[in-house]
Structure 1
């Protein structure tokens, strides 16, 4: 896997670039002229609409070569304001930019359609085509999402699934270069909390996000951006906490590093997709804690033509997470910017490493009973070169004989959600289908109750390696591992506690090799049953 070696060089380059960028940002704040919004007529009483006053301050700062726009302590009500070149919005401690609850106070500078088919893009703070911009300080931007929604639904009687897109994002960065978001709190967006689109050289550090109360409160959304560094952020979101997407085919999510994150979500902790037209590549995420998510912990999805490759996620802990991991290559093939893009062919999913993961799965999940890891391509399009290494997952158990034979829908062109493949998965540990070169190394499961499903079910698999597993004590199962339509399988050095009718049950299997597997109790009539 030569791509792993390249990550060291990529990370050095990214780190150097971010240090230079941070030095320039700090120097700009220290030496640039300060423009105070109070001098332009702004009032921090939480009642006066300050959109024009704040925008005049930003415009004059920009016209004079840049500097910092100072928001002092107070609550400054505003609609859409636009950042310009060389302008940093600095929020002092106790300062709040307070989003208006009137939708007519917001602008949409870049309309597009998101993954569920809704037109979106209105925003409270926005920048388009700007260079060297920032938001810093100890203050907050508060979108008043719940109050905004309450006022919205008084006049818009459409179903929530159709009307939500009109509500504004909290922060939108569109086709910008040199972006620093540091120290601030982003609170209670009307829709997505922060969305970065086709931008380069982005640093997001020490940002706190609390965004709940309405639907689609994603935390940080990176959409077709490059040279990105995100670290030390705390996100509590009503939708995906940290999500990478590509709503356009024109620019990949590329050369990104993320570290030291705390992620809580009603949906996924870490996610790629669903919008996935341009590539996801050279992305490294490490040292994160995901907790209390109502959906997946880690979800990597490419379903609209993107090539997802050279991704490493490591050293992640999860607590009370529904379905710890989902990996999906599909053929939904949606188009989100119909004026500039066309439908693509099915993409690829290759060379991904997930290692050093320790998870406690929630006992109540979308899947009943819960399962740990779902991996699936579609017929003729394999997930290739996926490695899961040093994985430990605690699960509720409780699967029955009938659960062990559940049929999982292909859902080739469907929205790629965990519940799309449920409610029953025939393996408690790892269920994999349409995979090639899958390596499962040093995987351990802990079960609260006996489970009659196999630890591993693999269907339509080529070149499978299962090594150094610790398989918990179960009794009464037909098999520990079930293989269907497989070729070139190596199962070695696994420790199996408990008993089953057979260790491996295989149908249409070719070249299956078992070596040095440790069985504490009798495994039925044979190690492998055809």
Structure 2
């Protein structure tokens, strides 16, 4: 792909540059001469490169350059495609439409600055159907195009300060910040969302650019095939609502890598609704080598999940909260796998993730449909594998939950280390966690949990191995709480025992469980306590529990024969 440059006040294309280079080849050395010689007159021409300045753009930050930039894009596309090269400068602009076979390339030092006039944001006629609040105005957009790209080291700036106002909400009390969000501090007077909307396109490349100061969602490919998002930086204020970083939605074959996102809402959220046609399965999505920070969630699947998610991978990444942030400015859930909208999730792999100071490290949740309290549940969430995760600074318990008669299924956590900094209270150990079957779910909305490390309820098929749950504070609660869990495998689970001598692991109404290969690394009062009249087929074998004063304790309501230790029916003395 060529770029247009200036020589003696006139533009030069790549072929002209190379002709000039041949003349100086001897002075420049044999390498450049050989390179130039390879481009002969009968060679295939390079893709066309156009500069919006040639169409009247000023790049002075004051003149509206929308029309000039659009003319450059339209001309490039009509000629068969190429590069629209935006040279250094600040280009004040409204909506820009990328067309087929066009790469809108922002050079280092080039900024597309969102117009302060809301009337400058107008989508093409075929996109003006106001399906939802996020589909009307955009700064950069493409619709039903092929081979579209936004690349370079330049910046797209949404000028969000022009469209924000201070919220009328009262300040959050310090003691409530653990479940609040700093995004409530501001509200929008206009919506330009998503700032970059790529809809119903095939072969999409977003690479290298900085996307900042969005008024709403920042970047959304929706209903697209074959999407590559690489090396993109997102910067939005932490106190702004709905400023998601990257939201691949109802897309297939998506690769997101080497991105750096710091924003007020979800850093990276995968969705499956499609306002431009039938909902599609969002599948074959790979997210890797990313750094994510947010005042909401780090990596998230779900919400606007009206259809399916399949084959999703998140790996080799960091989710963090910046040092010094208040609790309401910290990431809520670093890993958030959520299905509240009637769709389904199947086949998710999360591996090699480091988490720093997220309120919750892992949040997996299946619940009933938002807005349909009497609807028949048709969703499912299953086949999730999370491994090699290390988290520091958790202050709210990690969770894996379904709802009654609709469990989350086939969940595996392996080689997980969660460090909790929350100073729990004895009263919390008796808390009854609300079901909250309907409505929008966040891990901070269920109140305080009766365990400090992990809480699991309504799960069918749960495999936990090589788990280390550490509390840096004096916490009287159990380390793990299981409630209505079937087909449980518990292997090599260690951590900090409760400070008051309570059980380390509580099992209530657990069935078909295998507890094996466990060796507590610290003195425990009770390693496992079993409760509930539905408890059945719980087997302990191959454990070394000599460091526990009471390895296994049974409450009176546990049926006889429900628990076996090393092949023998267990009856406490």
TM-score band (shorter)? 0.7 to 0.9
Larger proportion of strand: 1
Instruction: Please name the residue that 1:427 is paired with.
Output: 451
2:286 counterpart residue number: 257
Task: Please point out which of 91, 95, 111 is paired with 1:96.
Answer: 111
1:512 Cα offset (Å): 0.9
1:466 to 486, 490, 509: 490
Does residue 175 of structure 1 match 2:200? Answer: yes
In structure 2, the partner of 1:230 is 256
Q: Deviations over 1:236-295 (max 9, x none)?
A: 111111110112462111011111001111111100111111111011111001110431
Is the Cα contact below 8 Å between 1:394 and 1:447 reproduced in 2?
Answer: yes
* Residue in 1 that maps onto 2:381: 349
* Residue 494 of structure 1, aligned match among 518, 532, 538: 518
**Aligned-pair distance for 1:503?**
2.5
The TM-score with structure 1 as length reference comes to 0.85
Query: Would the alpha carbon gap of residues 305 and 273 (structure 1) be closer, same or farther in structure 2, given more than 3 Å must change?
Result: same
Question: Considering only CA atoms, is the larger Rg found in Structure 1 or Structure 2?
Answer: 2
Q: Which has the higher contact order (CA 8 A, sep 6+)?
A: 1
The question of whether the paired residues in 2 share the 8 Å contact of 1:174 and 1:198 is answered with: yes
Q: Rate the CA distance shift 1:277–1:161 in 2: closer, same or farther, 3 A.
A: farther
Structure 1 counterpart of 2:360, from 319, 323, 335: 323
TM-aligned CA deviation for residue 167 of structure 1: 3.0
Q: Tell me the matched-pair count.
A: 479
After the TM superposition, which residues 133-148 of structure 1 pair with which residues of structure 2 at under 5 Å, given as runs? Answer: 133-148=148-163
* Counterpart-to-counterpart distance in 1, 2:552 and 2:261: 50
Cα distance, 1:332 vs structure 2: 2.4
When residues 227 and 106 of structure 1 are mapped into structure 2, their CA distance, relative to the original with a 3 A threshold, is same
> d(CA) in 1 for partners of 2:267 and 2:306?
21
Q: From 28, 32, 46, give the equivalent of 2:47.
A: 32
Residues 525 and 54 of structure 1: is their aligned pair in 2 closer, same or farther, counting only changes over 3 Å?
closer
CA contact (8 A) 2:479 2:497 kept: no
User: 490-499 vs 252-261, which deviates more?
Assistant: 490-499
Pairing 1:47–2:62 present: yes
| CA deviation map 1:169-190 (0-9, x unaligned) | 3200000000011111111111
Whole-angstrom CA distance in 2 between matches of 1:474 and 1:434: 24
Hey, what's the Cα distance between the residues in 1 that align with 2:347 and 2:471? 32
Alignment CA distance shift 1:399-1:515 (3 Å)? farther
SS of alignment partner, residue 428 of structure 1: coil
Give the secondary-structure state (helix, strand or coil) at the position aligned to 2:357.
strand
Show the counterpart of 2:224.
199
Q: CA RMSD in A?
A: 2.4
Q: 1:166 aligns with which of 176, 191, 204?
A: 191
* Distance in 2 (alpha carbons) for counterparts of 1:329 and 1:303: 6
Tell me the distance in 1 between the aligned counterparts of 2:551 and 2:104.
71
Measure how far apart 1:492 and its partner are: 1.5
- Unmatched 5+ residue regions in structure 1? 1-28, 154-158, 336-342
Offset from partner CA, 1:24-46 (integer Å, 9 cap, x none): xxxxx992101110011111110
Distance 1:30 1:207 in 2: 30
Query: 1: CA distance between counterparts of 2:45 and 2:464?
Result: 51
Cα contact 2:186–2:241 (8 A) shared by 1:
no
- Match among 492, 497, 503 for residue 479 of structure 1: 503
1:71 aligns to 2:86 (yes or no): yes
Structure-1 separation of matches of 2:523 and 2:130 = 54
Match of 1:511 in 2: 537
Question: Residues 308 and 107 from structure 1, CA distance in 2 versus in 1: closer, same or farther, beyond 3 angstroms?
Answer: same
Kept after mapping to 2: 8 A contact 1:309/1:350: yes
Contact persistence 2:188–2:215 (CA under 8 A): no
Over 3 Å counting, the alpha-carbon distance change for 1:187 and 1:64 in structure 2 is same
Judged with a 3 Å threshold, the aligned counterparts in structure 2 of structure 1 residues 444 and 112 are, in CA distance, closer, same or farther, namely farther
Shift of 1:163: 5.2
Structure 1 partner of 2:325: none
User: In the aligned structure 2, how far is the partner of 1:152 from the partner of 1:48?
Assistant: 32
Distance (Å, rounded) in 2 between the aligned partners of 1:334 and 1:87 = 41
1:280 aligns with 2:305: no
TM-score, scaled to structure 2:
0.79
CA gap of 1:257–1:344, structure 2 versus 1, over 3 A, is: farther
| Contact 2:507 2:528 (8 Å CA) reproduced | no
Shift in alpha-carbon separation, 1:268–1:30, aligned structure 2, 3 A? farther
For the residue of structure 2 that corresponds to 1:62, the secondary structure is helix
- CA gap of 1:525–1:36, structure 2 versus 1, over 3 A, is closer
CA contact (8 A) 1:476 1:501 kept: no
